[in-house]
Structure 1
Amino acid sequence: MQSATWRTFSLLTASFLRPSSRITLKRQPLTSAPFRTMASSTAAAHSLLKKPVKLACVQLSSTTDKEHNLSHAADKVKEAASAGAKIVVLPECFNSPYGCDFFPSYAEALLPSPEATSPSFRALSAIARENQIYLVGGSIPELVEEEQGSKKYYNTSLVFSPSGELLATHRKVHLFDIDIPGGITFKESDVLSPGNKVTIVDLPEYGKIAVAICYDVRFPELAMVAARRGCFALIYPGAFNTVTGPKHWKLLGQARAVDNQLYVALCSPARDTGASYHAYGHSLIVDPMAQVLVEADENEAIVSAELDGEKIESARKGIPLRDQRRFDVYPDVSRGDVKFEEP
């Protein structure tokens, strides 16, 4: 015998199924035109990374001796390349101590002829060529002398091809100006000027990467632009300190990875408690599902991981963010007034 509850359920079900029923469900459109455009434009996302590649982050200690720092970086990059890495990343300010007091004295001119004026440029180019790798050369302090006799300083990353050719230059866009009560006060803008562009680099055998520096990782817009312009990895040379590092370093790497469903690499200096600035260390590589594949401690180390395009595609199929963005509700930042060249 049917219960009253079951009879009620049957009547309601029947009323939903009868075309003439007064109870109707209004079908809402699942997408608007801009949304459908986004879905179709990402259909070829499986080709973001053309073939698997081993990426290594070289976590170095930097001293006050620039020549030693360059030589030490060369040795460690060779070690990473000998273990199979084809993309190698160095830390922020790897050729000098990190700090506003050091930037002017360690800065090198890259314009108009870096081969003549920048020993770090020459060293990085040679390291990439000798090891036949793509080299994201951490960052170095850059000097620009202006016509009026004034000087500007930038925190600048140089990216080289396996032939030693300069592929891209990224000047740190967001300067590290913070004041944490009871924690740390630091103001890069006292000395440095900001860069003014998003940096995307084409590695022909593999695909595109984006390069930014340290504090840039806190600003998701840079990462979103890079992801929607077809990058398979976001690479950040950085030097978080022992106050912000434990709180946010790994979290930010995972956030940028899961937001954009691609690989993220964060490369830090090793910690030197005898220096004026204590880097957190913990260089790491994160996969498109925000899993930390490998992480160093605070000491010198080389951490590496195999990046695979299928893992990117699997993440994007399983959680299809790329097909569900509502650009009819909010704007696509990658289609706005994005700067890809310095003015």
Structure 2
Amino acid sequence: MPRIAVLQMCSGIDPGRNFDTIARAASDAVEGGAQMLFTPEMSLLLDRDRARAAPHIVLQDASPFVPMLANLAEEHGLTIALGSMAVAAGGGRNANRSMVFAPDGERPDTYDKIHMFDVDLANGESWRESNAYRPGEEVVVIEDTLVGRLGLTICYDLRFPALFGELGDRRCETIAVPAAFTRPTGAAHWHVMLRARAIEASAFVIAAAQVGRHEDGRETYGHSLVVDPWGEVLLDMGGEAPGLAFCDIDLARIAEVRAQVPALANRRAIPKS
């Protein structure tokens, strides 16, 4: 039964300092018996001041942190599922990119966030992710990880059932949902949507989250969760502080749930009028 570690962070505007947090967590994860570490969205840089953040956002192959993370995974014999980092994507825009580093030190598997968070909230906050980021165009599933077939999503993707339906159709056993949810939307929807997505896909959902008040002034909800295929919350790290927590993933539970509620096998295309 694989053991995972989940890192809840309060990432700031200094990528080096954020990397050091991940490096310490990797060491602690291995010491705690974990074989895989999950980190939140924008683990290496969380800064809504785009001018200040710009010098740190470069092409993936030019980033010093990509080989550093690969070396970290290799050094510890640990798979590191980096929730995401910002990378330059050409045309004056960036990509919000998940990266999964295997212990072999090879180039990571990647996924670019498909859905952009463009919204005006009732509390006065306004977000226009599409002004700086281009959406991804590919559903990504990684075969044969320690937690089975792993589907990748990021934060706002959670609100789009069609993506999770596709991951269910591809028989993902685990789905990663790294996030930096705002407090208002997190309090309203975070737990119920993550449980729903786990139930719909009959899969484990692992959601490492940002938490607290960040250097750029934003506040995030926290409550990093692990949810099993029945919708049971196995881990909730709360909304108060960063930290590292562990969870054992019983992959046999997936077959049990899919036998009891064979929704994936029974799914049919909906006729269009």
TM-score, with length taken from structure 1 = 0.74
What percent of counterpart residues are identical? 28
Shift of 1:205: 5.5
- For structure 1, the residue ranges without an aligned partner over 5 or more in a row are 1-51, 332-343
CA distance in 2, matches of 1:283, 1:73: 16
TM-score, with length taken from structure 2 = 0.92
CA distance in 2, matches of 1:75, 1:93: 17
Three-state SS of the structure 1 residue aligned to 2:89 is strand
Give the equivalent residue in structure 2 for 1:309.
Answer: 251
Give the 5 Å matches for 1:281-296. 281-296=222-237
User: Does 2:265 correspond to 1:323?
Assistant: yes
CA distance in 1, matches of 2:147, 2:226: 17
Hey, which bits of structure 1, 4+ residues long, moved more than 6 A? none
CA distance in 1, matches of 2:145, 2:35: 13
Three-state SS of the structure 2 residue aligned to 1:293 is strand
Three-state SS of the structure 2 residue aligned to 1:243 is helix
Residue type of the partner of 1:61? Answer: C
CA deviations over 1:216-235 (Å, ceiling 9, x no partner): 11111111211221211000
Aligned partner (choices 105, 110, 131) of residue 55 of structure 2: 105
Asked if the contact 2:12–2:215 (Cα under 8 Å) also holds between the matched residues in 1, the reply is no
Give the equivalent residue in structure 2 for 1:280.
Answer: 221
Paired residues, number: 270
CA distance in 1, matches of 2:107, 2:31: 22
User: Does 2:144 correspond to 1:203?
Assistant: yes
Shift of 1:208: 1.2
For the structure 1 residues 100 and 202, does the alpha-carbon distance in structure 2 shift closer, same or farther, using more than 3 Å as the test? farther
Give the equivalent residue in structure 1 for 2:190.
Answer: 249
User: Does 2:1 correspond to 1:55?
Assistant: no
Residue type of the partner of 1:215? Answer: Y
Asked if the contact 2:147–2:251 (Cα under 8 Å) also holds between the matched residues in 1, the reply is no
User: Does 2:218 correspond to 1:268?
Assistant: no
Three-state SS of the structure 1 residue aligned to 2:98 is strand
Residue type of the partner of 2:110? Answer: T
CA distance in 1, matches of 2:3, 2:271: 36
Aligned partner (choices 65, 88, 93) of residue 143 of structure 1: 88
- For structure 2, the residue ranges without an aligned partner over 5 or more in a row are none
CA deviations over 1:273-303 (Å, ceiling 9, x no partner): 5542111111010000100001112311112
User: Does 2:136 correspond to 1:187?
Assistant: no
User: Does 2:169 correspond to 1:228?
Assistant: yes
CA distance in 2, matches of 1:294, 1:54: 13
Residue type of the partner of 2:258? Answer: R
Shift of 1:209: 0.1
Give the equivalent residue in structure 2 for 1:85.
Answer: 34
For the structure 1 residues 136 and 204, does the alpha-carbon distance in structure 2 shift closer, same or farther, using more than 3 Å as the test? closer
CA distance in 1, matches of 2:47, 2:29: 24
CA distance in 2, matches of 1:84, 1:330: 49
CA distance in 1, matches of 2:190, 2:49: 21
Asked if the contact 1:240–1:280 (Cα under 8 Å) also holds between the matched residues in 2, the reply is yes
For the structure 1 residues 66 and 167, does the alpha-carbon distance in structure 2 shift closer, same or farther, using more than 3 Å as the test? closer
CA distance in 1, matches of 2:29, 2:176: 17
Three-state SS of the structure 2 residue aligned to 1:210 is strand
Give the equivalent residue in structure 2 for 1:37.
Answer: none
CA distance in 2, matches of 1:166, 1:289: 34
Three-state SS of the structure 1 residue aligned to 2:230 is coil
Shift of 1:314: 1.1
CA deviations over 1:163-182 (Å, ceiling 9, x no partner): 12224111111011112334
Asked if the contact 1:104–1:143 (Cα under 8 Å) also holds between the matched residues in 2, the reply is no
